[in-house]
Amino acid sequence: MNITVIGTGYVGLVTGACFSEMGNKVFCVDIDNGKLEKLKKGLIPLYEPGLEDLVKRNYKKSDLKFTNKLKEGIKNSNICFIAVGTPMDEDGSADLKHVLDVATEIGQVMSHDLIVVNKSTVPVGTADKVKKTIKQELKKRGAEYKVDVVSNPEFLKEGSAVGDFMRPDRVIIGSDNPEVINTLKELYFPFTINHERFIIMDVYSAEMTKYASNAMLATRISFMNEMANICERVGADINRVREGIGSDSRIGYRFLYPGCGYGGSCFPKDVKALIKTAQDHDYDSHILKQVEKVNNEQKLYLVKKIKERFGEDLYGHSFAMWGLSFKPGTDDMREAPSVVIINKLIKLGAKIKAYDPQAMDVAKKYYFKNNPHVEFCDNKYQTVEGASAIILVTEWKEFRSPDFDDIGAVIKNKIIFDGRNQYHKEYLKSKGFEYYPIGNGST
């Protein structure tokens, strides 16, 4: 099939590259010419395992094309995916400006019947707005093409986006037009070849599913963080409790890890947007408001521990920051706990020596540009020289088994604040380290 994908961010680029890998001809459209030129050279603007190969290979075969001209893409396709950003508005709601701008342009340039598929995370009712906008533009031109707007939310995770797209748990298609549903099933069939993974529903439910899914996962994390905080107070170990409850198949083991808070481009934004949507429909979401509150407090959990250990005034202290991205496998630092923690520690007078396997460039460019209090190091060992303690916030594999003897020789205090429960308490104790994990007391 010939398809157009508008937006070359995480979702758009992965969608375009994966569809082209299955033999479709894909036009990726973006307004950012600089980004398009880089993509044509195989330079991917984000770190995502496997994506570079996919883009390079399919671009070379001409199955994947990059253009700033929407008209060129749409002229040659009968399906058009919208995968542009929906940033957070000041009041927490999803800002639909980009989505509706795209809809306007589609209406201005389309020259035959079109299936428009929304992949961006958008509030319930957006498909209607997109359709209305396109129809308005068509009317202005006196054109009478048929347009179907479908909701097809994307569930890919950063760091495993290509794999998630290639082997989806489910493909949700929100539409009431059987013909359109069949066309999309055909397009997605190669990704679902061994199992029937299509879930067909009305467009509103499809839009809501994406929010409900992220809200449920965020709730699990805030719930576990709250359990961890209670465990600590009553002398229980959250790791054992996690095993204990995860063994109940109704609960399951996955997504049950307490930590120093969730971040990323989805959970914080989507939880906020769903609270706002509920408000707009006269419902006060008690649970989601607390999910958000627990998470904001959890991002400061390690700072609280540090203050209890060193006092309120951290002047003269340097801390080794292990990890900056919001999770391993990505260079994304949006809503990352590391940013909140570092800024708070600096406010209290501390200096930071930071290292992350992927996110250093992003950190230098967008978060701590020319910040005299933050020093970026070449590796994890450099950060600990003369440090008052190590603070682990992202569970990259290379932080899993460091040489604690080497660290012990150069660090000022043998102390670790572990925001991701990566180490064994007893082992660290045997190495002479004070250890502050999440939800399992300290040594």
Only one residue has tokens 């709250």, namely 226
> By C-beta, is 189 or 255 nearer to ligand UDX?
255
439 makes contact with ligand UDX (CB under 6 A): no
Which residues have a Cβ under 8 Å from the Cβ of 226 and sit 6 or more positions away?
A: 294
Q: How many CA atoms lie within 13 A of 100 on its CB side?
A: 13
Which residues have a Cβ under 8 Å from the Cβ of 349 and sit 6 or more positions away?
A: 313, 314, 315, 316, 317
One residue of 157, 167, 197, 307 binding ligand UDX per CB under 6 A: 157
**Alpha-helical runs (H) found in 236-378:** 238-246, 267-280, 286-298, 301-310, 337-347, 360-362
One residue of 80, 102, 156, 314 binding ligand UDX per CB under 6 A: 156
Q: Is 428 annotated as a binding residue?
A: no
The torsion angles phi and psi of 203, rounded to 5 degrees, stand at: -65, -35
Dihedral, CA of residue 124, residue 172, residue 287 and residue 125, to nearest 10: 0
326 makes contact with ligand UDX (CB under 6 A): yes
155 makes contact with ligand UDX (CB under 6 A): yes
CB of 326 to ligand UDX, least distance (A): 5
Q: Tell me if residue 231 is catalytic.
A: no
What is the distance between the alpha carbons of residues 5 and 13, in angstroms, rounded to a whole number? 8
CA distances from 116 to 1, 132, 159, 359 (A): 14, 12, 27, 35
48 makes contact with ligand UDX (CB under 6 A): no
327 makes contact with ligand UDX (CB under 6 A): yes
Active-site option among 80, 231, 266, 377:
266
One residue of 137, 148, 158, 331 binding ligand UDX per CB under 6 A: 158
323 makes contact with ligand UDX (CB under 6 A): no
What is the distance between the alpha carbons of residues 26 and 49, in angstroms, rounded to a whole number? 21
Q: Which stretch binds ligand UDX (CB under 6 A): 84-92, 168-176, 249-257, 342-350?
A: 249-257
Binding site as annotated, residues: 30, 35, 86, 121, 155-158, 210, 255-259, 263, 269, 327, 334
Which parts of this chain interact with ligand UDX (CB under 6 A)?
Answer: 154-158, 214, 217, 221, 255-257, 259, 262-264, 266-267, 326-327
Binding site as annotated, residues for NAD(+): 30, 35, 86, 121, 158, 269, 334
User: Which residues are marked as active site?
Assistant: 266
